[in-house]
């Protein structure tokens, strides 16, 4: 394991799931190979993960990883910011991504897709994000896949697009970043809220208030590795093996039994993405 990486935390008392990660990017960011990342996660009882693509190449890689390892399922997409940058090539990229769907039963999600108004500020780029978002929504419905949403500084518009296009049956607000009011609006629609390591940051009380009102059956936890590393390792490279820090924080915040929370998170991931398989 790379010297940059934090030490492994104490293992969780029951198996659970990292509901959103980018193991391929972990390799680039820290040097931790995908095989080593999976082994390190399993050693702390993070036994399953969702590998998420952000463009055609990383989506293909996510599918390959999921086909190689039973503890992995894949979600495929063109990230909103990649869609904004695609320019006139966006239709071709969307067509190439769509051609992946139906090629593997390890593809369980479409996303991360959505809107990002932090990185993309121009009207033309935001228009391309909406175009891509609408396409991803249609694919999730057509293939009965979970929709994995990236939402940054665009809460109201994300809900507007979902209303206009019609939501799939299963929707995950990945890396949930809203307050309690936005959480209620999402929960009223039956969406899952997925909380990353940022929930542990001292300044994020509004995010913790959103967590407080999230019912057990709509709660997920993720790393979004290699980013958003939880305390006490904020600022260092993230990987799925660090998920226990966030799970323990949430258990303490909610006054929940840690073993039961691990099982609940795993059950919710299965409800959203389906079963991983005999060994996963």
Annotation: binding site = 20, 22, 112, 150, 174, 224
Q: Which residue, among 183, 134, 185, has the nearest Cα to 162 in the 3D structure?
A: 134
* Distance from C-alpha of 184 to C-alpha of 38, rounded to nearest angstrom: 34
The tokens of 142 are what? 């057509």
User: How many CB atoms within 10 Å of residue 178?
Assistant: 18
Query: Are the C-beta atoms of 60 and 98 separated by less than 8 Å?
Result: no
Residue 154 is classified by DSSP as -
Residue 10 is classified by DSSP as P
- Can you say which residues are annotated as belonging to the binding site for a divalent metal cation? 20, 22, 112, 150, 174, 224
Query: Are the C-beta atoms of 52 and 63 separated by less than 8 Å?
Result: no
Q: Which residue, among 81, 173, 90, 174, has the nearest Cα to 131 in the 3D structure?
A: 90
The tokens of 195 are what? 């909380």
In the numeric block, the tokens 């939880």 are attached to: 230
Say how far residue 69 (Cα) sits from the centre of its chain: 18
Question: Which residues, in sequence order, are bridge partners of residue 116?
Answer: 152
């Amino acid at each position: 394991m790379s010297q940059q990486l934090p030490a492994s935390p104490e293992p969780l008392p029951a198996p659970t799931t990292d509901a959103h990660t980018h193991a391929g990017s972990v390799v680039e960011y820290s040097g931790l190979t995908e095989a080593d990342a999976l082994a390190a996660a399993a050693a702390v009882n993070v036994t399953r993960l969702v590998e998420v693509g952000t463009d055609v190449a990383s989506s293909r890689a996510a599918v390959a990883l999921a086909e190689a390892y039973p503890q992995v399922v894949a979600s495929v997409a063109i990230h909103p910011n990649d869609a904004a940058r695609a320019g006139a090539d966006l239709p071709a990229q969307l067509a190439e991504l769509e051609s992946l769907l139906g090629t593997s039963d390890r593809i369980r999600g479409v996303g991360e897709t959505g809107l990002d108004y932090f990185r993309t500020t121009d009207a033309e780029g935001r228009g391309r994000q909406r175009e891509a978002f609408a396409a991803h929504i249609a694919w999730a419905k057509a293939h009965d896949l979970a929709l994995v949403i990236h939402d940054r500084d665009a809460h109201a518009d994300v809900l507007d697009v979902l209303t206009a296009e019609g939501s799939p049956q299963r929707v995950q607000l990945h890396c949930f970043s809203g307050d309690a009011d936005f959480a209620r609006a999402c929960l009223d629609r039956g969406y899952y809220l997925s909380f990353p390591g940022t929930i542990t940051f001292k300044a994020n009380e509004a995010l913790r208030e959103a967590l407080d009102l999230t019912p057990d059956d709509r709660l997920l936890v993720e790393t979004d590795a290699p980013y958003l590393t939880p305390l006490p390792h904020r600022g260092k490279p993230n990987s799925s093996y660090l998920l226990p820090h966030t799970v323990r924080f949430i258990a303490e915040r909610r006054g929940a039994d840690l073993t039961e929370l691990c099982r609940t998170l795993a059950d919710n991931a299965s409800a959203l993405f389906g079963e991983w398989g005999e060994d996963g």
